[in-house]
Amino acid sequence: MISAVNTIVGRSQVTVHEHLLFHASLRMAPGVAPAQRATRVEEVMSGLGLVKTRDTLIGGIGSGISGGERRRLSYAAELLQNPSLLFLDEPTSGLDSSMAEMVVQTLRAAADRGTTV
Domain boundaries, the chain: 2-82
7-21, 28-42, 103-117: range with lowest mean pLDDT = 7-21
SS3 116: strand
Question: At CB < 8 A and 24+ separation, what contacts does 28-31 make?
Answer: 28/80, 28/81
Q: How does pLDDT run across 61-102, given as a tens digit for each residue?
A: 667 888 888 889 999 999 998 889 999 889 888 888 988 998
What is d(CA 18, CA 36) in angstroms, rounded to the nearest whole number?
Answer: 15
The reported pLDDT for the residue numbered 102 is 87
Q: What pLDDT band is residue 1 in, cutting at 50, 70 and 90?
A: very low
